[in-house]
Amino acid sequence: MKKVGILTGGGDCPGLNPVIRAVVRYAVQEGYQVVGIKNGWKGLIENDTVELNLQSVSGILPKGGTILCTSRTNLYKKEADAKKAKENLKKMGLEALIAVGGEDTLGVANKLYKDGFNVVGAPKTIDNDLNCTDVTFGFDTAINIVTEAIDRLHTTAESHNRVMVVEVMGRHAGWIALESGLAGGADVILIPEVPVDMEEVCDIIKKRHSRGKNFSIVVVAEGAQFKKGTMVTQEEKLDAFGHVRLGGMGQRVAEEIEKKTGYETRVTVLGHIQRGGTPTAFDRVLGTRFGIKAMELVLKKDYGKMASIQGNKIIAVPLDAAVSELKTVDMEFYNLAKIFFG
């Protein structure tokens, strides 16, 4: 029986299980055995696998996270790991490997393809910053969670005459901050693509107060930076892909607002709440469509490609192009949002 492998790498998000389910359902229909590789690229190094069948994926459509588990492992960081992973991949006898992940996971997938292995990808990241696709699954669920949180903060902010700062995810791209902030009626939205000018932020809040608005909502992406500044980090230690752990930007912004305006300010860090829970209907359908497309690419032997949505069409794009650069916020879109600031 022909075999196809699948793994999920990087940060978890709602929509991963719908992808796995779709791949398995389609693969079994076409006479394939599906090998699930556990814990992302770490599982490939350790040869940690599980057989996936119709029973395995029954009931997982509405579940968040990933039944295969995940890790932030870069198998190309150490030569010995890369060698071991390639040996295991050959031993598995897979016709192809489907890698589901974001920039880092698919970057590794692209290197494997260039090293001669049959690999295809499916785009996942709540940050929505992967190139060559209009949207990634997980993003819709994340912005719905953040929007609900902002809605809840409106009532407590107004009751206490406070400024509420909401820190959301977004290392290099401010898609979550922008879309949830716009949907939630935020008064200021701070994103990594635009250096933060605290004088301007405080002027906006003061003007609101001068016309009788005694509360404000400020949404800030964790990767936002002050003018002539650097990212605010929790620690200097780097992960396997060379990223620092971000965190604390919301607190810094809140402190500056309170100091410069005198208004009582509180900060809420949503953190991994944005990644958790049940996927929205949109993400369930998108994940399913990506999974079907990924398996279709395997059947066509069209390797080195990633499933992508452009308009309402699911198409294949080169992995090389998908990981070549990040998709950052469109400034025309951001300027639209600024109409509502203050």
CATH number of domain containing 149: 3.40.50.460
> Are 148 and 200 found together in one domain?
yes
- Asked if residue 342 belongs to a domain, the reply is no
> Are 240 and 127 found together in one domain?
no
CB 223 within 8 A of CB 231: yes
Measured CA to CA, the distance from residue 320 to residue 317 in angstroms comes to 9
- Asked if residue 336 belongs to a domain, the reply is no
Question: Tell me, what CATH number does 30's domain have?
Answer: 3.40.50.450
Sign of CA dihedral 320, 311, 8, 193: positive
> Are 79 and 168 found together in one domain?
no
CB 219 within 8 A of CB 150: yes
Tokens 């039944």 locate to: 67
Positions of the chain with pLDDT lower than 50, given as ranges: 231, 243
Catalytically active residues, by annotation: 127
Domain hosting residue 65, numbered range? 2-137+279-322
- Asked if residue 164 belongs to a domain, the reply is yes
Whole-number pLDDT of residue 158 = 87
Measured CA to CA, the distance from residue 161 to residue 327 in angstroms comes to 37
CB 316 within 8 A of CB 289: no
> Are 114 and 156 found together in one domain?
no
Whole-number pLDDT of residue 161 = 87
Measured CA to CA, the distance from residue 234 to residue 167 in angstroms comes to 14
Q: How many helices (H) and strands (E) does the chain have?
A: 12, 13
> Are 109 and 199 found together in one domain?
no
* Total of domains in the chain: 2
- Asked if residue 338 belongs to a domain, the reply is no
- Asked if residue 334 belongs to a domain, the reply is no
